[in-house]
Structure 1
């Protein structure tokens, strides 16, 4: 039987998944289950399958892939992990969950990403579908302090965009990829690697099915307590990343900010 780890039940499941070779579908199930604690330990395989969008046998196979004899043993282990976790007085609401997501950023090391992104010009920023607003948010402020920022959000032309960035001398690119992961984003990441560009990826989990194509991964959990995922932690990580990049050349940053301030009277009320 697979042994339990220490810490929160979610951390136990994440560590367990990272120690086993899982298929992309199985990783997606684990990712969804992480947002369903503690109730997930009291659901049947049918109920988990319905909530994660897979078949019941797929959930059963996940349990064996994680080293258990079957799903009942896996569910019992989850319950044990939950009981071993620090008690909470009540079910946290969406705001409290976002506070936890924000707190997790304290352990994020951004220096490798900053090294790559501060050294490239142009800086390509790619975000498709749900990630498009995140790329646009980062790019809106990045243009104020960096000389050449190219934001791309069109899935139909993203490969062309990567090729153009490469021809213009880009050595790295920044990708925002929130669930569900668009195939076009994954393809663009792989194309960038093929062209010799480094890939910095901001994602919601370390359990990416395309982890091998990522040079630097920055994890910002999403809130799953509402109808749609919320991206508070991602936004904070993005602006923190930009702050660190801008700090690499403070004189240029100051000059560009002053130039921007000179234009404020043209558009601000």
Structure 2
């Protein structure tokens, strides 16, 4: 379904949509391939909006009405699927593989290169992630400290604004924000505060249609797995480690020196 999802995402990005309309598109992206065969009523119920709102989305995307939009959607789905769509069930592992395939294209793109340049040259680098994104921020920050001279990690909503301000006051810094669903209000506020203070901002999230997408200097998308009780962040972790590897390669001598200094302390932490 990757090509069909890419078609809908690209179509949405070509038009000025309201936050509610972007919400509908985001919900539809998680419903492939069945979404191409649902009615406006069914999509409205799944997206938590009214039926006329779904109809207006089709018009906003440049179609004469919803039937024309659905026909185009079906064409995209059928041209992407080598097997019959009806009754098709995608396993969790299949979804993760599709997410990683989508990520592969992102890592090869220009936004990824821009993010590496901003993060590698940051002094200091602020890393934030609240609630479900806290573990991602800690993971990235733990290894980033081996590569970058000054890294500040914040996973506490009560101090996130202070962290952003400190990063701005301490030099030519940048902010990396992990913003996975459900998007914490504190994370969105911190991203906007960073922009207002003139900090470069790199945001990692699950969709290019996130309501705060325009507040990021660089937006990196890593889809989440939604087949289980809790979202899977497998693609996000791969993106994080890919960023770290690329950052390391921007300054090989610095990386070597810092890693050797780190290795000299390892014996202190490991129980023989």
1:79-134 deviations in Å (ceiling 9; x for gaps): 22222223137533111221122122332232211111111111100112221111
Offset of 1:238 from its aligned partner?
A: 0.6
> Is the CA contact (8 Å cut-off) linking 2:126 and 2:173 kept in structure 1?
no
Name the TM-score, length of structure 1 as normaliser: 0.89
Question: Corresponding residue for 1:243?
Answer: 245
Question: Corresponding residue for 1:142?
Answer: 144
Name the TM-score, length of structure 2 as normaliser: 0.88
Offset of 1:165 from its aligned partner?
A: 0.9
Q: Is there any run of 5+ residues in structure 2 with no aligned partner, and where?
A: none
Q: Could you tell me which of 192, 198, 201 is aligned with 2:200?
A: 198
Question: Corresponding residue for 1:185?
Answer: 187
Distance (Å, rounded) in 2 between the aligned partners of 1:8 and 1:114: 27
Question: Corresponding residue for 1:112?
Answer: 114
Distance (Å, rounded) in 1 between the aligned partners of 2:150 and 2:120: 11
Q: Which moved more, 1:163-172 or 1:104-113?
A: 104-113
Question: Corresponding residue for 2:101?
Answer: 103
Distance (Å, rounded) in 2 between the aligned partners of 1:68 and 1:105: 29
> Is the CA contact (8 Å cut-off) linking 1:23 and 1:209 kept in structure 2?
no
Question: Corresponding residue for 1:37?
Answer: 32
Question: Corresponding residue for 1:19?
Answer: 14
Q: Could you tell me which of 70, 80, 84 is aligned with 2:79?
A: 84
Question: Corresponding residue for 2:68?
Answer: 73
Runs of 4+ in 1 over 4 A off after TM superposition: none
- Work out the number of aligned pairs and report it: 263
Aligned residue for 1:217, secondary structure, equals: strand
Offset of 1:56 from its aligned partner?
A: 3.1
> Is the CA contact (8 Å cut-off) linking 1:171 and 1:196 kept in structure 2?
no
Q: Which moved more, 1:143-152 or 1:131-140?
A: 143-152
Q: Which moved more, 1:197-206 or 1:40-49?
A: 40-49
Q: Is there any run of 5+ residues in structure 1 with no aligned partner, and where?
A: 1-6
